[in-house]
Structure 1
Amino acid sequence: MKNLKMIIRSLLKHKLFSVLNLLGLTIGLTCVFIILAWIYNETEYDKFNTNYTDIYQINFKNQKEEMSMAGTPNPLAPVIEDEIANVKLAVRLRNAPGFAFKYKENMYFEENGITADPQLFRMFSFQSLYGDPVKALEQVEGIVITESFAKRYFRNEDPLGKEIQIRGKEFVTIYAVIKDLPSQSHIQFDYVLPQKLLEQYHFCGLLWGDPNFRTYVLLTPGSDPENTGQEITRVAKSNGMPHLQSGEISAYLRPLGSIYLDYSVNNRLGETGDFRYLYIFGSVALLILLLACINFVNLTVSMFAKRQKATSVAKVCGASRKTVFLNSIAENAALIIVSFILAIIVIGVVRAPFQNMIGKPFNEHIFTPRFIGIMALVLFFTLTLCTIYPALVFSRAKAIELMNRYNKQKSGVLKSMVVFQNVIAVLLIVAAIGVNKQMQYINHKKLGFETDQIAYTYLRGNINQKISVVRHSLSENPNITEISLKDCPPFSQVNGTVGISWKQNGEWQNQNTAHPVAMETTRIDDHYLEMMNVEFVAGRNFSNEITADKQNYIVNEEALRLMGLTDPVGAEFSLYGKKGIILGVIKDTYFKSLHQKVNPQVFHLYNNEAEESYFSSLFFRISGDIPATIEFVENIWTENNPGIPFEYHFLNQDYEDLYKKDNQIAGILNFFTLLAVFIACLGLFGQAAISSENKIKEIGIRKVNGAKVAEILTMLNKDFIKWVVIAIGIATPIAWYAMNKWLENFAYKTTLSWWIFALAGVLALGIALLTVSWQSWRAATRNPVESLRYE
């Protein structure tokens, strides 16, 4: 109790520095715990599955180009399940097209569905509420729905055995209801349709050359995934999968635990994380913690001169070095523990806003025993870092030295720590500026086509059967200037295949070859490329007035590069055996995210729009009153497609959403950079206060001898300026390397101009000067008589 009173008395005696230490450390620990909670959440994906360690996704890797893909052909799963002994189960998954579902008066578009084999519910631990989901997917007309899906349509009714209308015409029967999927599942869906239904309606390419599925396998415990991958390569190759014939591409098994965070392979079955962001923000957390601890140590040790009298008296009265050491540790530990408790309280207050910032929940497991253990380790690290060195400084000085105002603690160690904290600040400022510059580059880069004022709707129900009537009705509105049709939005992909060939030097290429070229194939009408204002580098656009154009093709520059054609216009081309000629070549256009390179693309016309445009997207450009025009379009939709809800999207908004996660990361980095700079400012402020007090006699003497305020300010600030300049020199090459590594995440990226580092340095220097100048100004303008009175 006596020691506790002494600790409290000491902390209250030096209120300013106690508050600075408490505030800096509380902010630092709060940032660290929030970041660690997010990292913890990201690393817990898919661990709810009972077979977590034995489930793998089949991927293919090109050894020559060091590229991987998750797409697998439709026939692969049943073949390897039959032919490879240690494959217990194999299941195919594919995103389902958006369907309109209807039960009585309840009708919604459902965009979040998949098709799958019955083995899905034997392999993954999705909890069933009613019915048997395995048997449900064994029926062509069966469907499995989630609890939320059931509530939308059936309210309090029992959904089992009920028929629900799909696509405005067919009915499927609900044979099972499962619990909503855990948020930490990389596979997300609201309903599952049978693989048999997909095959019946042939929604996509189903041959060995069409990698349109995701295939998962459950291995027998103890199996070697590397050997199994080699077996899958052998089986797929023997069955004629064209991608593998060259020997450069082979199958490998990606563990379930690494799927969500593996940015290099797109899953397209739910949200994808990025383990690089874990490293980035893990580093930010460590830097902030080090920054807060350095501030604490610097302020504590810099207080040595103010506390040396009490320490010297204690030593004269017989206090041993061990006693002084333990008392110092106890006093600092008390402050750290209070900061720890305050940080926990702050987390409870700010976690909801932070969840909104990152767009997902992250606190479901924040107070589990495992995470509490992580927090305890952080506390132990902080206690060790913040208490040992100050305690050694206080305890090792002799009493006589203390009486003589021993002040050798202003050593190279302290100066090095001040430089290091400024290095951290500069690093984070450079990172924030660089990330924001890349976001500006993305948001303002010319994509090669237009997105402004273009809206679109998915053709659902039976409206595709009346597409010509709908086109004519829309064209009567003067606010709608252009109309076009495509099988999907430009940022999406319906089909990719190696089932293409072209004629060169009298011979057909890409047939029975060891190195087949794969391309994205897209149906469009003859208005689409013109509406999007896509630039042609050769040839011409399609024309519906020319019947032969329905057999012809348009390719982009990347496709042309892969084909190696020097005179492409008029060259013979074939898709799935349908032969025609290349009419034109469009400029490489950034239809997809700038994270990936431009795909080789082949465009071809609808042969019969009324039959082939189901699932397609109808685009219309609005040049006038947008709300009134949307209402007009909705009325036409209702007239021609009764009972199917109308939904629309704006293309420019969708492209902004492609970078939503990147913008969130930029915002989070900005937020933590500001907090880190604030923590650094707290330390500089305290250092400036201590420095000016330690030099109070010198300042008084200089002023008596005629020194000007500017000279006093220069004397007091020059050390801080020197430390920041040294920090800028150290931080610049480190920041340059780190930013280059981060920019590798983008296929198309900005440049790291010199001004980024110059601006970061100027900001760091300016912030430092603003922080210390207040204390310096107070000391420089103080009456010299008051200054000398202290002596």
Structure 2
Amino acid sequence: MIKNYLTIAFRTLLKNRTYSLINAIGLSVGTLCCLYILMFVTNQYSYDKHHTKAKNIYRVTSTLIASGEKHQMATCSPIIAPALKSDFPEIEQFTRVIPTIDVGRHLLHYQEKSIYEKDAFFVDSTFFNVFTYHFVFGNPMAALVEPYSVVLLQPMAEKLFGETDPTGKTIEIDNAYGNHDFKVTGVVDESLGNTHIPARMFFTMNSGGIGNVVRHSNTWASQNFTYTYIKLNANTDAAAFERKLPAFLDKYGREDLKARGMEKQLHLQPINSIHTTSGYEADIAVPVSASFLNILLLIALLIQIIACINFMNLATARASKRATEIGVRKATGANQRDLIRQFMGESFLLSALSILIALPLLFILLPYLNQITNTNIHLSLLNNPTLWLILSGITVVTGLLAGSYPAFYLSNFQTINVIKGNFSNRVSAGGIRRSLVIFQFATSVFLIVGIIVIFRQLQYIKNKDLGFKPGQTLVFSFYTDESKQQMNSFASDLKELSAVNAISKSTNYLSQAVPRDHGVFLAGDDAATSVNVQEIISDESFVTANGINLISGRDFKSDDLGKVLVNESMVKRLGLKPEGAPGTLLYSRYGSGPESHVEIVGVMKDFNYSSLRDDVRPFMLSYDPHESDLSHLIVSVNSNNYEPLLKKITTLWQKDLSNTPFEYRFLDHEVNNQYKSEKTMSRIINSFTLMAIFISCLGLFGLTAYNAEQKKKEIGVRKIMGASVVKLTFSLSQDFLKLVLVSIIIAMPLAWYAMKVWLENFAYRTNLSWWIFTLAGALALGIALLTVSWQSWKAATRNPVDALRYE
């Protein structure tokens, strides 16, 4: 019986090649898109699921409330982790992780090889007791026990040692913490799965530098820079354990928090949710938005539905062609169930065929698709049960979705009516067909609006006046003590170049995360009323080099130690006026120590020193040209011809810093890099929207072709009676174009609401102008018009004799 169904299905597909081809292409393209999106989303949700007892591992996060501001932090104070382990037997183990963002890159030496590397982390010796990594070389339980030991990621180890076992060998690491010898105690790879910790090497916490700060920290309120992880015992209820944390924090931190005028709460975040949860400040890496993944899943579903609609529409439109077949089969004993099985079999066969076409296409297009999504997904059929599950799911769902309505519709023909030549059905397909076309193009219009709005927002971000001038600005970073000692010589040589306008040294460059922040208050107030301010330390040229405007007071002078510049937002938070702020003293206090103060000498116009997703926060620029953490040189130039300029700069670098690899950044590129996730989202939606439009047009093309075929005699008669080609083309096209107009009307309010919600993620955003929706509607209508009118014109220009010769 099954063989019989398959035989009939194959014959039907071959007999109707044009419509079978349209269905096969549509379903194959839809399946390709759907399959890749499902693989991408599955990959994003796979992060940190490979760790042993992953369900018991949690990150301890903090909610800080100070001066009326609430901050949800991915971090907490260093002292919290060991105190938790000491107080609660429910905790099997803990570890702390500190990224070396403030250090930047690390210069590694081994024999004659020297390389710059970033993404290094200080971790407790218990790190590999909590997290599971595949050790290529070394022992995970002992890897980070010795002081100044380091575990390397395999790609990095191969740069220094090739494929040999490097355990026990010593490498020299030069960074902002000094020059130290580290013993390589292990090499790991990421073959077990993805992780939210983007590390290339792990230093044991007992290695000086920030590790000393972590191990000796005793504050419960401040120093919230530590990523803390705990592994609970197997039978521990995480929710019940979390309810114990307020009393724990009150027991140890009450006085410290009270002295600083802060409130603090601790929470547990499941390890496998970190990569897909947004909203935490100072996260260890940029997470992917769960709402974005949901949007992708919705797009995948819509694309597959659009492809299935093509199948349904063409199948029901061609019902009269198969009515005789159905009548004969019913007359010879086939019941409705048999016919449903036959037509569902055709649907499943076409669905399976689309998979067979989509898979090799996916192999070919995978590098391009990975480039669009900025991921590295591999397609392995032999050892990937998840992929087989996805493939099976797509085949079954597509077969059911595409075949169910045509199967019930076609099997519902009455035998006696068909034999008499009456092909009407108790189920009306025309209305459903029109509804499905409307759905297809409403979806396409919705996605086109998304493309335009996202593009407009990215252009707005690119062109918005940030309050400083990132263009024609170079940034040079100095990560080691040796390179910092040559920083002044290099800066002096750069000043001799005619293309250089200004040079400034600072702890950070604009658009980079600002790790320094603390509370300040006015005379007569105290820490309880302090305003949290982010701080960059610089020399007297920072304002000039970055093109920042002052609205009152003056810029720094060479003897302004202890003086600061503040922004407008800072002045407003303090209750001051810009013109009266210069000369005001700002006080701060750390713990039980004495008060210290600085003096405001000028007020800067607000500028977006961080992402446009956020409002401008209180900001302070402190003058101290001798600060040891001045590790960035900001160079403003007056030329766009960078090639000869960089050649001259390279010569100066080799003269002053011959032992340091030459690196530079363009500040405007760094600013734009803040929006990588939005650019990725734009590329993804652009690409898959084009696929959705293509599939919709393919279905419209097929329906128009079939409609023209059905009306060929009518067209022939009307041409003989004098109807023009234009009139005939319009007559054949108008019904479909009306459906597209209805779809535009339906899609517009939905698209407006969705884009309004998305834009609310940005503090600074473009407007949803009326012309965006007009343009989207015009594009959809134009695409549909081209698709429909082409087939209609072909039908209208046929020789009427061909249609009427047998009448």
CA deviations 1:475-525 (Å, max 9, x no partner) are: 112222221111122222353333x3222xx4034x1x2x65322221111
CA deviations 1:97-128 (Å, max 9, x no partner) are: 22211122111111110112212121111233
Inter-partner Cα distance in structure 2 for 1:744 and 1:302: 44
Cα drift, residue 438 of structure 1: 1.4
- Output the TM-score relative to the length of structure 2: 0.91
Q: Quick check: 2:137–2:165 contact (8 Å CA) kept in 1?
A: no
**Residue 320 of structure 2: aligned partner:** 305
**Bigger mean CA deviation after superposition, 729-738 or 516-525:** 516-525
Cα drift, residue 200 of structure 1: 6.6
CA deviations 1:178-224 (Å, max 9, x no partner) are: 31235610012111223341247769996542222222222222333
**Bigger mean CA deviation after superposition, 262-271 or 69-78:** 262-271
Query: Structure 1 pair 518/221, CA: closer, same or farther in 2 (3 Å)?
Result: farther
Inter-partner Cα distance in structure 1 for 2:349 and 2:25: 14
Q: How many residues are paired up?
A: 779
C-alpha RMSD of matched pairs (Å): 2.6
Inter-partner Cα distance in structure 2 for 1:537 and 1:528: 16
1:225 is matched with which residue: 238, 246, 255? Answer: 238
Counterpart check, 1:599 vs 2:599: no
Inter-partner Cα distance in structure 2 for 1:689 and 1:244: 79
Amino acid at match of 1:458: S
CA deviations 1:163-182 (Å, max 9, x no partner) are: 32222762222141131235
Inter-partner Cα distance in structure 2 for 1:484 and 1:204: 34
Amino acid at match of 1:599: R
Where 1:167 maps in the other structure, the secondary structure is: strand
Inter-partner Cα distance in structure 1 for 2:143 and 2:44: 32
Residue pairs, 1:654-669, within 5 angstroms:
654-669=670-685
**Residue 73 of structure 1: aligned partner:** 77
CA deviations 1:617-670 (Å, max 9, x no partner) are: 112223345233333333333333342222111111222222223212211111
CA deviations 1:388-443 (Å, max 9, x no partner) are: 22122222112332242414554322221121112111111111122111111122
Residue pairs, 1:521-560, within 5 angstroms:
521-544=535-558, 547=559, 549-560=560-571
Structure 2: where are the runs of 5+ without partners? 590-594
**Residue 485 of structure 2: aligned partner:** 465
**Bigger mean CA deviation after superposition, 394-403 or 767-776:** 394-403
Counterpart check, 1:105 vs 2:112: yes
Cα drift, residue 688 of structure 1: 0.7
Where 1:260 maps in the other structure, the secondary structure is: helix
Counterpart check, 1:288 vs 2:303: yes
**Bigger mean CA deviation after superposition, 726-735 or 486-495:** 486-495
Where 2:157 maps in the other structure, the secondary structure is: helix
Residue pairs, 1:365-514, within 5 angstroms:
368-402=384-418, 403-407=420-424, 409-461=428-480, 462-498=482-518, 500-503=519-522, 506-509=523-526, 511=527, 513=528
Query: Structure 1 pair 433/531, CA: closer, same or farther in 2 (3 Å)?
Result: same
Inter-partner Cα distance in structure 2 for 1:205 and 1:481: 44
Query: Structure 1 pair 471/167, CA: closer, same or farther in 2 (3 Å)?
Result: same
Where 1:658 maps in the other structure, the secondary structure is: helix
Query: Structure 1 pair 286/520, CA: closer, same or farther in 2 (3 Å)?
Result: same
Q: Quick check: 1:210–1:497 contact (8 Å CA) kept in 2?
A: no
Inter-partner Cα distance in structure 2 for 1:245 and 1:623: 46
Counterpart check, 1:172 vs 2:190: no
Inter-partner Cα distance in structure 2 for 1:74 and 1:447: 35
Residue pairs, 1:233-272, within 5 angstroms:
233-237=246-250, 238-239=252-253, 240-242=255-257, 249-266=264-281, 268-272=283-287
Cα drift, residue 146 of structure 1: 2.4
Inter-partner Cα distance in structure 1 for 2:732 and 2:556: 75
1:95 is matched with which residue: 93, 96, 99? Answer: 99
Residue pairs, 1:761-776, within 5 angstroms:
761-776=777-792
Cα drift, residue 584 of structure 1: 1.7
1:39 is matched with which residue: 41, 46, 49? Answer: 41
Cα drift, residue 251 of structure 1: 1.4
Q: Quick check: 1:159–1:174 contact (8 Å CA) kept in 2?
A: no
Where 1:776 maps in the other structure, the secondary structure is: helix
2:290 is matched with which residue: 275, 297, 302? Answer: 275
Structure 1: where are the runs of 5+ without partners? none
**Bigger mean CA deviation after superposition, 631-640 or 563-572:** 631-640
2:583 is matched with which residue: 570, 574, 578? Answer: 570
**Residue 690 of structure 1: aligned partner:** 706
Cα drift, residue 157 of structure 1: 5.3
Inter-partner Cα distance in structure 1 for 2:706 and 2:499: 69
Amino acid at match of 1:119: T
Where 2:561 maps in the other structure, the secondary structure is: helix
Residue pairs, 1:156-235, within 5 angstroms:
158-167=165-174, 170-182=179-191, 184-196=194-206, 197-199=208-210, 207=219, 208-235=221-248
Query: Structure 1 pair 626/673, CA: closer, same or farther in 2 (3 Å)?
Result: same
Q: Quick check: 2:306–2:440 contact (8 Å CA) kept in 1?
A: yes
Cα drift, residue 465 of structure 1: 2.2
**Residue 15 of structure 2: aligned partner:** 13
Amino acid at match of 1:570: G
CA deviations 1:356-394 (Å, max 9, x no partner) are: 222221236776223322321222111112222212222
Inter-partner Cα distance in structure 2 for 1:281 and 1:386: 21
Inter-partner Cα distance in structure 2 for 1:383 and 1:249: 54
Q: Quick check: 2:99–2:122 contact (8 Å CA) kept in 1?
A: yes
Query: Structure 1 pair 323/134, CA: closer, same or farther in 2 (3 Å)?
Result: closer
Query: Structure 1 pair 285/639, CA: closer, same or farther in 2 (3 Å)?
Result: same
Where 2:525 maps in the other structure, the secondary structure is: strand
Inter-partner Cα distance in structure 2 for 1:782 and 1:129: 71
Residue pairs, 1:577-616, within 5 angstroms:
577-606=595-624, 608-609=626-627, 611-613=628-630, 616=631
Q: Quick check: 2:505–2:625 contact (8 Å CA) kept in 1?
A: no
Q: Quick check: 1:550–1:605 contact (8 Å CA) kept in 2?
A: yes
Inter-partner Cα distance in structure 1 for 2:724 and 2:644: 71
**Bigger mean CA deviation after superposition, 654-663 or 226-235:** 226-235
Inter-partner Cα distance in structure 2 for 1:205 and 1:665: 43
Residue pairs, 1:720-739, within 5 angstroms:
720-739=736-755
1:742 is matched with which residue: 746, 752, 758? Answer: 758
Inter-partner Cα distance in structure 2 for 1:574 and 1:762: 60
**Bigger mean CA deviation after superposition, 727-736 or 673-682:** 727-736
Where 1:193 maps in the other structure, the secondary structure is: strand
**Bigger mean CA deviation after superposition, 562-571 or 337-346:** 562-571
- Output the TM-score relative to the length of structure 1: 0.92
Cα drift, residue 560 of structure 1: 2.5
Query: Structure 1 pair 597/133, CA: closer, same or farther in 2 (3 Å)?
Result: farther
Query: Structure 1 pair 216/320, CA: closer, same or farther in 2 (3 Å)?
Result: closer
CA deviations 1:646-704 (Å, max 9, x no partner) are: 21111112222222232122111111111110100111011111112222333333334
Q: Quick check: 1:41–1:365 contact (8 Å CA) kept in 2?
A: no
1:355 is matched with which residue: 341, 354, 370? Answer: 370
Q: Quick check: 1:552–1:581 contact (8 Å CA) kept in 2?
A: yes
Identity %: 30
